[in-house]
Structure 1
């Protein structure tokens, strides 16, 4: 990746709907160059897709939480399979440190959140969990 590729990613990170012509103008390269670069970035997996990022107004009806799990050795595959079946689980990350998995979950209300947390903590192989309920977003730079 060179400066042009990084420029494309930065501009698309700010506005994924930016046209090829606008990208070319801003980066001072030909439109065909942008097209070829985007195709290469997609083919090599640097760009995995284009998505919609919801604003705070759309997220207001969702209660969000981070759940940190300690799991038994060699239990991760089974736990991941069961987590996929829980619709409130949005993302799962492996991590180093005191916990083995970090989950981002969202639910429409406290009852649904509580039920999801109960399901997660009752899974075979889960040794312990800690949950943090999100109150408000102060900084969001995620692309």
Structure 2
């Protein structure tokens, strides 16, 4: 990846629906060159896909939480399999330190969040958990 690819990715991260002709104009390249670069980045797995980013009004309607899990030895694979089936689990990361896994949850209500937390706590292989409810976002550099 060179500086042009990095600039192209930056533009696409701001708005993945930007027409190729507009990207080409901003980068000072031919449209066919930009399309070829996008195709190459997709083929190499640098661009894995394009996603919808919800606006602030939708985000305000979502309750988010981070859950820190302590697992029984060798239970990670089985717990992950069950977590994948839970719609409220947006991401799961293995971790080093006091906790074995970090989960990102999203729910439409406190009752839905409570239900998801109860189901996670009841999973075979989960030894303990700590939940952190997100109150407000002060910095968000994801996009």
TM-score range relative to shorter protein: over 0.9
Q: Which residue of 2 aligns with 1:125?
A: 125
Q: Which residue of 1 aligns with 2:76?
A: 76
Using the TM superposition, give the Cα deviation of residue 73 of structure 1 relative to its aligned residue in structure 2, in angstroms. Answer: 2.3
Whether 2:8 is the aligned partner of 1:18: answer no
Q: CA RMSD in A?
A: 1.1
Using the TM superposition, give the Cα deviation of residue 90 of structure 1 relative to its aligned residue in structure 2, in angstroms. Answer: 1.2
The 3-state SS of whatever aligns with 1:141 is: coil
The 3-state SS of whatever aligns with 1:91 is: strand
Using the TM superposition, give the Cα deviation of residue 97 of structure 1 relative to its aligned residue in structure 2, in angstroms. Answer: 2.0
Q: Which residue of 1 aligns with 2:53?
A: 53
Q: Structure 2: which 5+ residue stretches go unaligned?
A: none
Whether 2:26 is the aligned partner of 1:31: answer no
The 3-state SS of whatever aligns with 1:131 is: strand
**What is the TM-score of this pair, normalised by structure 2?**
0.94
Of stretches 59-68 and 40-49 in structure 1, the one that deviates more from structure 2 is 59-68
Equivalent pairs counted in the alignment come to: 143
**What is the TM-score of this pair, normalised by structure 1?**
0.94
Q: Structure 1: which 5+ residue stretches go unaligned?
A: none
Q: Which residue of 1 aligns with 2:94?
A: 94
Over residues 59-112 of structure 1, what are the superposed CA-to-partner deviations in whole Å (9 max), with x where a residue is unaligned?
A: 222211010111122111110111112111111112222212111111111111
- In 1: Cα distance, 2:14 partner to 2:2 partner: 19
